[in-house]
Amino acid sequence: MAKEINSSSGIVAQSMSGETTNSENAPVTLQKSLGLFSAVAMVVGLVVGSGIFVSPVGVLDNAGSSAASLIFWVIGGLSAAIGSMSYVELGTSIPSSGGDYTYIGIAFGPVLQFIFVWAFLMIVFPIANAIIALIFANYILVPIFPDCSPPGNAVTLVAAFVIVLLSVINCVNVSWAARVQNVFLILKVIALIVISATGFVWIAQGKTQYWKSPWEGTSMQPVNWARAIYSGVFSYAGWNYLNLVMEEVKEPEKNLPRAIWISIPMIIVLYLCTNVAFFTVLSPEEMLSADAVAVTFGNKTLGVMSWIIPIFVACSTFGSLNGSIFTSSRLYYVAARKGQLPESISYVSIKWMTPVVSLMFQMVISLFCLISSDIHELINYATFFETVFVGLSVAALLYLRKKFPDMHRPLKVALFFPITFLVFVLFLLCMTLYEGAQSSLIGIAICLSALPVYVICIAWKNKPKSFRRAMKSMNIWLQKLFMCVPDEKEYLD
């Protein structure tokens, strides 16, 4: 399609520092703006969201004891570490944005690739964004409503505001979004350090009454073990999302593995120390009865300063939401660039060099999810989808090893890592089907609903002229509205 806005003259190109400079010959494309620190902040910021503040209850409830809970937290961390090794090879061998979407497409073809983007478009990312925004709103309003729960309308309005705010920040400047991620990474790490330090101070003071029988009550039921692992794994979700933005990482062959190898061990240590603190300060009964375990912890240990805990949790979720908006918008952008979503979603702002239409498209869907009455039930579907497609991506690594043995692989991991991770994923999926067959079947139905959409919107090439004219008019209108054009760079998708 001919560009309706001339992108070859007087383009505003964005430098790596985040400033804008006029460049007549610079292509309109996404810029490499993420260094090592920003990449680490992206991974830690995505993983350390609200999960660590709510999942300890679920892990303890199923594990039955504090010692067993810590073991399951380690298992969750090791699963993320083992899975991330496969993504290091995939990301450095295929340095294209899109992550799982790109790997599944190259290995298994466009139909399965479209099913992936359909599931994540309809469920995973917009629901995740909405839930994180609602958690942020609830916690940020706690100091304003100390004696009661915040009003529902206030929570929804604050959640909507933060989604719009972060979407705009991500539209205007990638470096701004990276700085937001960096700042809130520091705040959320401080929050976990404060909790951990408080717990270790109690241990140093001899307040170890809850550690006298750490194995008491341990469940011996494998089903409960699986549930405990699943609760822990949920808190590590997001470790693979840096691969979604590979084209914006500086020196990806160096910085992707370094970011993974720095962030995953850091997260495991922070999670273990935080849980030790919780088990030191709170009895198992107090943890299991707590609506928000971090708030209960703060009320018991910090006295008049207990208000800082909900603020810290809000900061943690704010950073997590920013990272989710940044990375997930790139999935829509890459899918549109490949022709599996409307072309306009792949347009890049000629002023800011960001996928502005993709960000606005995602923002609207996320805002719509705020009014969905079934939003909490859909979280189960999102977890199911994520497990399935992460497993497919790791399977893609094995397939590409066999089909393209001479493919350039800057980092080639031992087969132990993908095979072990696939066994772990199969275990989780079997337990999911066993425990929640109805939800799993609905998730499969949502995936299969992508097939008629694929046939009509993608496989059907001879669409009516009226439809093509309408799409062209919409593209022109969006180009004028957002001052954006198609990406000028050639990619391997």
- How much is the pLDDT for 19? 41
- How much is the pLDDT for 290? 72
> If you average pLDDT over residues 33-55, what whole number do you get?
80
Of 199, 209, 327, the residue nearest 272 (C-alpha): 199
Kindly list the structural domains of the chain, giving each domain's residue range(s) and its CATH number in brackets, ordered by start: 31-486 (1.20.1740.10)
Residue of 413 and 432 predicted with greater confidence: 413
User: Does residue 128 have a pLDDT over 90?
Assistant: no
| Torsion (CA) 161, 375, 231, 239 in degrees, nearest 10 | -50
- How much is the pLDDT for 104? 93
- How much is the pLDDT for 11? 31
> If you average pLDDT over residues 310-337, what whole number do you get?
86
- Which of 110-119, 136-145, 313-322 has the weakest average pLDDT? 136-145
CA distances to 244, 320, 337, 396 from 353, in Å: 17, 23, 15, 31
User: Does residue 34 have a pLDDT over 90?
Assistant: no
pLDDT tens-digit map of 211-221: 888 898 888 88
The reply to whether the predicted model has a pTM over 0.85 is: no
Residue of 270 and 138 predicted with greater confidence: 270
Categorize the per-residue pLDDT at 229 as very low, low, confident or very high, splitting at 50, 70 and 90. Answer: confident
Q: Helices 308-338 & 110-119, crossing angle to 10 degrees?
A: 150
User: Does residue 223 have a pLDDT over 60?
Assistant: yes
CA distances to 79, 148, 381, 428 from 424, in Å: 8, 42, 19, 6
- The alpha carbon dihedral of 421, 423, 426, 428 has a sign of negative
The structure tokens listed for 493 are: 């998708």
CA distances to 207, 285, 364, 414 from 210, in Å: 8, 11, 47, 42
Q: Which residue has the tokens 């800057």?
A: 410
- Range picked from 225-239, 320-334, 407-421 for highest mean pLDDT: 407-421
> If you average pLDDT over residues 171-188, what whole number do you get?
81
- How much is the pLDDT for 35? 83
Per cent of the chain over pLDDT 70 is 87
Categorize the per-residue pLDDT at 114 as very low, low, confident or very high, splitting at 50, 70 and 90. Answer: very high
Categorize the per-residue pLDDT at 50 as very low, low, confident or very high, splitting at 50, 70 and 90. Answer: low
Categorize the per-residue pLDDT at 372 as very low, low, confident or very high, splitting at 50, 70 and 90. Answer: low
Of 83, 57, 13, 488, the residue nearest 295 (C-alpha): 57
pLDDT tens-digit map of 438-479: 666 777 888 889 999 999 988 888 889 998 899 999 999 999
| Alpha-carbon Rg for the chain in angstroms | 23
> If you average pLDDT over residues 69-87, what whole number do you get?
92
> If you average pLDDT over residues 196-220, what whole number do you get?
89
Instruction: Write out the DSSP string of 327-378.
Output: HHHHHHHHHHHHTSS-GGGGEEETTT-S-HHHHHHHHHHHHHHTT-TTHHHH
- How much is the pLDDT for 17? 36
pLDDT tens-digit map of 243-265: 888 888 888 888 889 999 999 99
- How much is the pLDDT for 16? 33
> If you average pLDDT over residues 368-372, what whole number do you get?
78
User: Does residue 123 have a pLDDT over 80?
Assistant: no
Q: Give the side-chain half-sphere CA count within 13 A for 275.
A: 28
Element (H, E) at 276: helix 252-281
CA distances to 46, 239, 358, 419, 420 from 330, in Å: 15, 16, 7, 28, 29
